[in-house]
Structure 1
Amino acid sequence: MGNLRKSGFLLLLFFSAFKMYAQQTVQFSQYVFNGLAVNPAYAGYREDWTGSLSYRMQWAGINGAPRTAVASFDGVTNDYEKRVGLGFIAINDRLGAQSTSSLYGNYAYRLQIDDDEERRLSFGIAFGVTQYGIDGTKLNAVDPNDTSIPTGNESKIYPDFRVGVYYSDPRYYISASVLDMFSAYRDQITTDDNYKILKQVRHLYISAGAIFPLSEVLDIKPTFMIKEDFRGPTNLDLNAYLLINKRLWIGGSYRTGVSLWKKSNLQKGLEKSNALAAIVEVFVSDRFRVGYSFDYSTNALASYQQGSHEVTLSMTFPRKNYNLMNPKYF
């Protein structure tokens, strides 16, 4: 009976989104450790070439719940000037029978605004393609002759681009970006066989954070991120981390909806509180980092699932003049 309730809830969620022909972009609790996922101007921030992998299993226990995987690689093209950052990112997101796969090439021009090369203002752009798909074998039709459900895999590929700006110095950062720029020009996605597929909508991301020393072995890093799609509720992530001995990050996150302005299309009485997250990041060595986070839903969805799990891995390939005295905290 419990599995039936969970599956029914997911189907309701899925077909509600199906009716709107739109969905939100991927959600990560550890976004602050891989800024390229939300901002092309982040490319080259760490300067050394860095590869990252992230996997998120959302709403564990619900059949067909969102599963997201991200792989990225970025760095600067010139060790001396460090003005140009390049990066590549691949994203695969699945929700029930729906899938979205994207591949982007990222370019960032990094302006040096001080003589010590510690402050940078970056402007970034990313071009790529997104494949939207639906797998009819994962849908159970009440009417076997229902022609609105595909018998196999149906997909459509579209071009897309992203833009962003990113400021950073050793103690804080400010980030703003817009993703899925071309989505506004697509009312809906229809395959050659006339099947409707959900599309991602344009998103604005605004984020900032800072790090403050508390002692020789303790630092604190508060951050926030606003995620806006101009149609649904505005999302706000509030995070705080403790850095212990420059090796171990321990933190927490609170995710909620906020009302920045009145949206007439929103249903009244929506619950704003979304989730709490516990986050741990460990620098196993100067080059290798591993992280884990667990999200606990604070809304009505809590009774249908066992939380969300997220794992991240990061490997840095230092250049010849690698300097541990100027670490990157964002």
Structure 2
Amino acid sequence: MSRYKLLILFWGLTFWMLQARAQQTVQFSQYVFNGLALNPAYAGYKDDLTLNLSSRIQWVGINDAPKTGVASVDGLLNSSGNKNVGLGLIATFDQLGPESTTSVYANYAYRLRLDALDTKRLCFGIGFGAIQYRLDGTKFNATDAGDSEITTGIASNITPDFRFGVYYYTPKVYVGASVFNLLSGTGTNLVDNIQLAKQVRTAYLTGGALLPLSETIDLKPSFMIKEDFKGPTNLDIGGYIAFNKAVWLGTSYRTGVQIWNKNNLQSGLDQSDAVAAIVQFYVNDHFRIGYSFDFTTSKLAGSQNGSHEFSLSISFPGKKQRVVSPRYF
């Protein structure tokens, strides 16, 4: 298949994904440093076996505000061969008040090589896993004692799921599209006659570039569109300035945007969400730590003290492995 046919197929799949019916999933400000959290086709991108950890504490000062953690590991099936297969494992925990969601996915990516120097690849990925939703009824304060609609104990269920994505990259540019929770619309979600909430389909479109400004300074702009086709479309746009590829200082702005009219939305909603200040430090080529702070720009700003997010990644290079093109995404 020619390179042009592959790109046509890539964009065709992208537009198909953006027609999925979806509901938004967890939010991270440092999403560009853990691609597997947004796209299973990212598995194996860095060639090295790589461990990523992320933790987010949202809306500090509000009781039972969201808390999210992600752990992932990915690498190549055969790093000394054609590098066509990437594998990854990712686990996510998200808690909001009495609700908590835990998910685990195994990811497989097939990586098509597009040039002789192996600097460009088009990747197709799929992830299989399960989601556990848990509701702790002991944390509710019922207005009417004995309300049968409120569980008195802990209710939970586990549902299977899979996700799909495509990812294209060169040394200077990347673009990806994915859809999560593909099985969300099937089956029921009842435990002991209690209706449990569940995540439904969420589509992502991401992209970014690396633009050299001098021998020691680079600019790295990026964007993410997250769509559920029911709530407001979420747009995150930002950029980093990198000094000697070691210190990255960045900011991003997250807001809702109206791409088309959604009749189910309340009129007059405040679209603005948050501005994030982000810093990343590469101790060496294989160890990165990061921190970001979100300044809330919505009407919620006066009720909380912002959001903290921490991230860490460690790579374990093979003994004879040689990366032809450095990985900056």
Please report the TM-score for the alignment, with normalisation by the length of structure 2: 0.91
Distance between the aligned counterparts of 2:235 and 2:104, measured in 1?
A: 26
Provide the C-alpha distance between the structure 2 equivalents of 1:107 and 1:248, rounded to a whole number of angstroms: 31
Aligned to 1:182, the other structure's residue is in SS state: coil
Which residue is 2:218 aligned to? 219
Change (3 A) 1:325 1:126: closer
Structure 1 residue 152: deviation in Å? 1.9
What secondary structure, in the 3-state scheme, does the structure 1 residue paired with 2:262 have?
A: coil
CA distance in 2: counterparts of 1:197 and 1:297, whole angstroms: 29
What is the match of residue 55 of structure 1? 55
1:5 aligned partner: none
Paired with 1:299 and 1:91, the residues of 2 have a C-alpha distance of 27
SS in 1 for 2:148: coil
- Tell me which residue corresponds to 1:118: 119
Residue in 2 that maps onto 1:190: 190
- Do structure 1's residue 34 and structure 2's residue 49 form an aligned pair? no
Give the corresponding residue for 1:96. 97
Residue 229 of structure 1 pairs with residue 228 of structure 2: yes
Superposition RMSD on alpha carbons, in Å?
Answer: 1.3
User: Distance between the aligned counterparts of 1:321 and 1:295, measured in 2?
Assistant: 41
* Paired residue type of 2:32: V
What secondary structure, in the 3-state scheme, does the structure 1 residue paired with 2:109 have? Answer: strand
Q: What amino acid maps onto 2:138 in structure 1?
A: T
Distance 1:294 1:138 in 2: 29
Q: Which residue of 2 aligns with 1:179?
A: 180
Aligned-pair distance for 1:137? 1.6
Closer/same/farther in 2, CA of residues 23 and 60 from structure 1, 3 Å limit: farther
Q: CA deviation at 1:138?
A: 1.5
Q: Indicate the residue corresponding to 1:309 in structure 2.
A: 308
Aligned partners of 2:103, 2:176: CA distance in 1, in Å?
A: 22
Q: Secondary structure at the match of 1:221?
A: strand
1:137 is the counterpart of 2:138: yes
Please give the alpha-carbon distance, in whole angstroms, between the structure 2 residues aligned to 1:42 and 1:24: 20
**Equivalents in 1 of 2:203, 2:143: separation in Å?**
39
| 1:196-253 superposed Cα distances (whole Å, 9 cap, x missing partner) | 2211121110011000001111000000000001110000000100111110111000
Question: For residue 75 of structure 1, what is the aligned residue in structure 2?
Answer: 75
Report which stretch shifted further, 318-327 or 55-64. Answer: 318-327
- Alignment partner, residue 260 of structure 1: 259
Q: Is the 8 A contact 1:59 1:65 kept in 2?
A: yes
Q: Secondary structure at the match of 2:284?
A: coil
Instruction: For residues 38-67 of structure 1, give each alpha carbon's deviation from its aligned partner in whole angstroms, at most 9, with x where no partner exists.
Output: 100000001110011100011111111110
Q: Distance in 1 between matches of 2:186 and 2:270?
A: 31
Aligned-residue offset at 1:278: 0.4
Q: CA deviation at 1:284?
A: 1.2
The C-alpha deviation readout for 1:167-200, integer Å capped at 9, x for no partner, is 01110100000001111235x6211x11122111
Amino acid paired to 1:290: I
In structure 2, the partner of 1:19 is none
Most deviating of 290-299 and 316-325: 316-325
Tell me the CA shift for residue 323 of structure 1: 4.1
Residue 255 of structure 1 contacts residue 276 of structure 1 at CA under 8 Å; is this kept in 2?
Answer: yes
State the 1:107 CA deviation.
Answer: 0.3
Say whether the 8 Å CA contact 2:223–2:235 is kept in structure 1: yes
Where in structure 1 are there 5+ consecutive unaligned residues? 1-21
d(CA) in 2 for partners of 1:90, 1:295: 23
Equivalent residue pairs, number: 307
Corresponding residue for 2:64?
64
Deviations 1:61-93 (A, max 9, x none): 111111001000000011121100000000011
Q: Which amino acid aligns with 1:126?
A: G
Q: By how many angstroms is 1:285 displaced? A: 1.9
Q: 1:148, CA displacement in angstroms? A: 1.9
> Once the two structures are aligned, what percentage of the paired residues are identical?
58
Give deviations 1:249-274, integer Å, cap 9, x for gaps.
11000001111111111111111111
| 1:23–1:198 CA contact under 8 A, matched in 2 | no
Q: Distance in 2 between matches of 1:270 and 1:147?
A: 33
Q: How does 1:313-328 map to 2 (within 5 A)?
A: 313-323=312-322, 326-328=325-327
* Post-superposition offset of 1:147: 2.3
Q: Does the aligned pair in 2 maintain the 1:98–1:197 contact within 8 Å?
A: no
